Amino acid sequence: MIGNWPLLTIITFLPMIGVLFLMMIRGEDQVVARNARHVALWVSGFTFVVSLALLLNFDPQAPGYQFEERGDWIPAGGISYHLGVDGISMPFILLSTLLSPLAILASWKAITKRVREYMIAFLVLETMMIGMFASLDMLMFYLFFEGVLIPMFIIIGVWGGARRVYAAFKFFLYTLLGSVLMLVCMLAMYIDAGTTDIPMLTSHGFAAGMQTWLFLGFLASFAVKVPMWPVHTWLPDAHVEAPTAGSMILAGVLLKMGGYGFIRFSLPMFPLASEFFAPLIFALSIIAIVYTSLVALAQSDMKKLIAYSSVAHMGFVTIGIFTLTEQGVAGAMFQMISHGLVSAALFFCVGVVYDRLHTREITAYGGVAAVMPRYAVFFMFMMLASVGLPGTSGFVGEMLVLVGAWKASSWVALFTATGLVLGATYMLWLYRRVMFGKVVSPEVEAMERISRREVLIFAPLTVLVLWFGIYPASLLDVMASSIQLILDSAAAGGAIVLAGR
Amino acid sequence: MFEFQMADIMPALPEIFLAGVSLLLVLVAAFGGETARNARRVTRMAMGGILITLLLLVNSDLVITSAFGGMFSADSFASYMKVLVLTGTFAALGLSLRTDGDGDINKPEYSLLVLLALVGMMLMISADNLMALYMGIELQSLPLYVVAAMRTNSLRSSEAGLKYFLLGALSSGMLLYGASLVYGVAGTTDFTGIAEALSGGALPPVFIIGMVFMISGLAFKVSAAPFHMWTPDVYEGSPTLVTALFAIAPKVAAISLLLRLTYGAFGSIADQWQQVLIALSIASMVIGALGAIMQTDIKRMMAYSSIAHMGYALAGLAAGTVAGATGVMIYMTGYVFMGAGTFAIILLMRRDGAEATRIADLKGLSSTHPLPAIGLLVMMFSMAGIPPLAGFFGKWYVFLAAVEAGLVPLAVIGVVMSVIGAFYYLRIIRLMYFEDTDAPLDPHIPMANRVVLGASLAVILLFFAGLGGLLAAADSAAVALIVFG
């Protein structure tokens, strides 16, 4: 029954219907603001419900694309409207549809000016994110991939902190520079293959010399998104200045675009180059893990600390992907989903206390656990998940990456593991300084306990982190056959190109 | 020489009709008196004339596309580009319809001159002969020199008109000199004839000199660097309504002419002019992007922005392939609507009735004028080439053609410059959205501006949806352009 519906199109563009509603709201500022919040929440909530239908009808055994939709767009150029999901894009779509309503809920009280415009930006952002993961056409992928910049630039720039302009520009220009280099590579691929269809490009088999250049061009774009050292510097700025919900989405979904791109494009389309450049990626990732972990230790701003920890965690992801092993890629995928949940929750943790005290300085806090016990439980749980405690989703991803890394090189595994130790150090230290000890000031003493709304945001994230930690197979099974397919086609593609030379 | 025949009328019917309307409007303007009311009447009639011309153009179903002994060609390329200039001029005239407009431009002769220039532009687009080319250019330029200096009580406007005239005359001279050399070698002024003469064999160096002179003269007209120097001054000095016109229509006509000349007449020696166009393209992209960053006046910024845009369009032209011509046409389509939308907002920038054209005047626009602010936001993102807006697809197709033709470095320079360019478009968004206003602009938004902005927004936002059809039209038009080979 539901199989006949253009489900992916519906999910992708549902938020845009919300945008239309938002534009039609009239009345006094207060009324507009209230209605805008409700419209945005209900629309994104409904989108999430519809995306569950996607999950229920998804067959994890089938390795290829499902729910495919294809229509003419630019027939003359071999460019079509092509959507579809496999085990790799599926979890990301759900992550996007889940985090969007939560982020809107998180900005319920924090955003008071221009609420309507804010909600419009968020819904546009949601469409762009879902569309990007659902695209099976390279040009469409690029449209959504870069379209994300527009709402995010506005969100950081209008509703951000004191240095928001600087952060928004840095975010925009870094990401744009990365993606235009990818664009040139896409042009070259299109000319070489005569199509922008992703499945067809995957089986095209680009010449070995060309793969090198294409890989580097895509690397420029994805490395900025991930972000990898040394092009990560936009991230702490963007996170610190963005409003809480912006940080949640940025860390939760947008950073995953880079990792997703590596898996969707770099591995299967440029297998030879991927193998050739893997040591470079390992080196950059290890530097990212060790260096940014040390930098995180030195932070006095809570958000900045978590932002740097994101860079380190994403280092695991890139290592996992380029081990080119099943465990490594699965671990990277798992780590991305887990980090999407955990980092969104952690940024919300910061947002909760920031809403009360309007500072993110670690030294301003202390003894919060005594005042807000329930909050302390959520924060601790997420902190432990971030550190990779067994039983949480963080553990599974890191372990799988380490297994994959060990297969690739014991040295890589060794250095990667140091990240775990450093990560535990800065997170535990952060938690101790903020939560334990004596209550430092009357302001902290007077902090409100967390509200039902805030619990409502934490609850699904906590449940999922725990669920994936205890029963990782539920997620791994969805991805397994697709990952296998990608690695197989990469190996086959590499062999064909080599044989042809 | 050729004999005049009735068959020559049909292909040129839109131009002939429009010329007739202009002559009629001379009478209306002369007998109606120097009043603002009469000026609006002339404008409305001119706009009506343009609409009918558009209908004539779109509905024409020609068997013979060439007229006046091959001087004039009404092929699908000409139709495509003419629709663009007609639409652009229609929008620019529409913007001048506001009742509270500045008095200097509210003269009946304004619309009349614009209409004459429009006839010139259409002739340029259809020109298939060196003589027709020169006639079109001069018919377009002379009225434009006058409208640039329209604000007679303003020193800057007079200066702009004079500057435009002197440099325009210089470029016409270069063009004419080049054309005479080309004629001397080819022995004919006909584009097809030139193409045939060129395919013969070794080219005398004097021909290359002539060709470079001609391309340089046209580079002046499209304000491609390094022949761009007049653009910022003329843009800034002219009345804003006139700037809006300059920024949209004449660029399309001049680019069409450049396309016709290089692809048609010089089509068989693409490798000769490709170098020149690559140099012009890179120079324009770099100077446009870097020059715009330093501007404080929005009209000057738009001037540099248009220089950069011409650089991108020339990148497609430099490819020298059908795909390149298609790319240029897609690019110019987006460009016309981006220009119309942007100037619909720039024309709103008034404080206590006086023009406010500093970029800083846009501060906090989003809180005082939410709708124009969103409009300008979309226009700026589109100009920066951010998908899924129209500007992106223009870039995609010109760079696609460039890469296809093996000009990868050109494409790479282009995309890097577009990142630098994004900086100054973003700066406008920053002022509108991230900062608060200290002196709000006038609240009144005339109907004309709303309509033009709304229509441009619709085109820019929904460009991707109509791209398939647009591309097919541009593609068949581009094929019509190739005379030889």
- Is residue B76 over pLDDT 90? no
The chain B residue lying nearest A157, using CA atoms, is: B434
Give A-chain residues touching B471 at CB under 8 angstroms: 74, 76-77
Is A150 in contact with B471 (Cβ distance < 8 A)? no
Whether residue A169 lies within 8 A of chain B, CB to CB, comes out as: yes
Per-residue pLDDT band at B279 (split at 50, 70, 90): very high
Q: Is the pLDDT of residue A163 over 90?
A: no
A-B interface: how many C-beta pairs under 8 angstroms?
88
- Nearest-CA residue of chain A relative to B427? A169
Residues of A in contact with B386 (CB under 8 A): 146-147, 149-150, 176
Interface check B293 vs A, CB under 8 A? no
Lowest mean pLDDT among A384-393, B62-71, B251-260, B367-376: B62-71
B412 part of contact set with chain A, CB < 8 Å: yes
DSSP B127: B
Which of B289, B270, B473, B463 has its CA nearest to residue B384?
Answer: B289
For residues A230 and A155, the answer to whether their CB atoms sit within 8 Å is no
ipTM for the complex shown: 0.88
Residues B410, A137: contact at Cβ < 8 Å? Answer: no
Mean pLDDT of chain B: 88
Beta bridge partners of B350: B355
pLDDT above 90 covers a percentage of chain B that reads 40
Contacts of A143 in chain B (CB under 8 A): 387-388, 392, 464
- Nearest-neighbour CA in chain B from A74: distance (Å): 4
Both tokens assigned to A94: 């759900």
Query: Phi/psi at B350 (nearest 5 deg)?
Result: -135, 145
Residues B415, A153: C-beta atoms closer than 8 Å: no
Any chain B CB within 8 A of the CB of A73? yes
At residue B49 the predicted structure's pLDDT band, cuts being 50, 70 and 90, is very high
Nearest CB to A74; choose among B366, B416, B467: B467
Q: Is the pLDDT of residue B4 over 70?
A: no
Contacts of A225 by beta carbon, 8 Å cutoff, 6+ apart: A175, A178, A254, A255, A257, A258, A261
**Local structure of B72: helix, strand or coil:** strand
B286 pLDDT more than 90: yes
pLDDT reported for residue A262:
92
B476 lies within 8 A of chain A by CB: no
Using pLDDT thresholds of 50, 70 and 90, give the confidence band for residue A436.
confident
Give the pLDDT score at A365: 84
* Parallel/antiparallel/unpaired status of strands B354-355 and B350-351: antiparallel
A184/B411 CB distance under 8 A: yes
A102-111, B137-146, B234-243, B474-483: which range is least confident on average? B474-483
Which residue(s) pair with A85 in the sheet?
A66
Euclidean distance between CA atoms A268 and A252, whole angstroms: 25
pLDDT of residue B485: 47
Q: Closest to A73 (Cβ–Cβ): which among B411, B426, B468? A: B468
Tell if the CB–CB gap between A76 and B468 is shorter than 8 Å.
Answer: yes
Å between B281 CA and nearest CA of chain A: 17
pLDDT category at B121 given cuts 50, 70, 90 is: very high
Cα separation, B389 vs A32, whole angstroms: 28
- Whether the CB of A139 is below 8 Å from some CB of chain B: the reply is yes
Q: A188: which chain B residues are within 8 Å (Cβ-Cβ)?
A: 403, 408
Place of tokens 């804010």: A118
Q: In terms of CA atoms, which chain B residue is nearest residue A188?
A: B403
Taking only the tens place, the pLDDT of each residue in B192-228 is 888 888 877 778 888 889 999 999 999 988 888 888 8
What are the two backbone dihedrals, phi and then psi, of residue B294, each rounded to the nearest 5 degrees?
-85, -5
- H helix or E strand, kind and range, residue A69: strand A66-74
Q: What is the DSSP letter of A451?
A: P
B101 pLDDT exceeds 60? Answer: no
> What pLDDT does A441 receive?
81
Beta-carbon separation of B403 and A191 below 8 A: yes
Q: Does A22 touch chain B (CB under 8 A)?
A: no
Rounded average pLDDT over A63-90? 84
Q: Which residues of A touch B434 (CB under 8 A)?
A: 157-158, 164-165, 168
Which residues in chain A have Cβ-Cβ distances shorter than 8 Å to B366? 117
For residue A140, is pLDDT > 80? yes
Residue A164: which of B412, B434, B475 has the nearest Cβ? B434
Min Cα distance A193 → chain B (Å) is 12
**Which residues does chain A have within 8 Å of residue B433's beta carbon, measured at their own beta carbons?**
154, 157-158
Taking residue A373's Cβ as centre, other Cβ atoms within 10 Å add up to: 11
pLDDT, tens digit (0-9, with 9 covering 90-100), for A328-379: 899 999 999 999 999 999 999 888 888 888 888 888 888 888 888 888 889 8
Average pLDDT value for residue range B224-245: 88
Closest Cβ opposite residue B468 in set A75, A114, A146: A75
Q: What is the pTM of this model?
A: 0.91
Q: Say if B399 is an interface residue toward chain A (CB within 8 Å).
A: yes
Output the six-digit token pair for A431.
Answer: 């938690």
Distances (CA, A) of B128 to B136, B192, B328: 11, 8, 19
**Average pLDDT over every residue of A478-487:** 86
Please provide the size of chain B in residues.
485
- Is residue A1 very low, low, confident or very high in pLDDT (cuts 50, 70, 90)? very low
Residue B264 Cα to chain centre, angstroms: 20
Q: Do B387 and A154 touch (CB under 8 A)?
A: no
Tell me whether residues A188 and B396 touch, CB distance under 8 A. Answer: no
Return the exposure string of A337-360: e unless at least 16 CB atoms fall within 10 Å of the residue's CB, then b: bbbbbbbbbbbbbbbbbbbbbeeb
Whether B104 has a pLDDT exceeding 70, the answer reads no
CB of B462 less than 8 A from some CB of A: no
Q: What percent of chain B has pLDDT over 70?
A: 96
Share of chain A above pLDDT 70, in %: 99
Q: Do residue B399 and residue A154 have CB atoms under 8 angstroms apart? A: no
How many beta carbons lie within 10 A of that of residue A434, not counting itself? 24
* Contact between residue B281 and residue B412 where contact means Cβ atoms under 8 Å apart: no
Least confident of A15-19, B5-9, B50-54: B5-9
CA distance B426 to B381: 8
How far A351 CA sits from the closest chain B CA (Å)?
22
pLDDT, mean over chain A = 87
Give the pLDDT confidence of B404-448 residue by residue, as tens digits.
898 989 999 998 898 888 888 999 999 998 888 878 888 888 888
Tell me the pairing of strands B72-73 and A66-74: unpaired
For residue B399, which residues of chain A lie inside 8 Å, CB to CB?
A: 183-184, 187
What pLDDT, on the 0 to 100 scale, is given for residue B378? 93
The verdict on A20 touching B (C-beta cutoff 8 Å) is: no
Q: Which residues of A touch B387 (CB under 8 A)?
A: 142-143, 146-147
A164 touches chain B (CB under 8 A): yes
B412:A150 CB<8 A: no
Is pLDDT above 70 for B3?
no
Nearest residue on chain B to A116, judged by CA atoms? B370
Residue of B nearest to A81 (CA): B465
- Backbone angles phi and psi of A359, in degrees to 5: -150, 150
Average pLDDT over residues A15-42: 87
Best probe of the B interface among A180, A210, A231, by most B CBs < 10 A, is A180
Nearest-angstrom CA–CA distance, A299 and A361: 9
Chain B residue with Cα closest to A145: B387
Question: Tokens 């591995």 belong to which residue?
Answer: A267
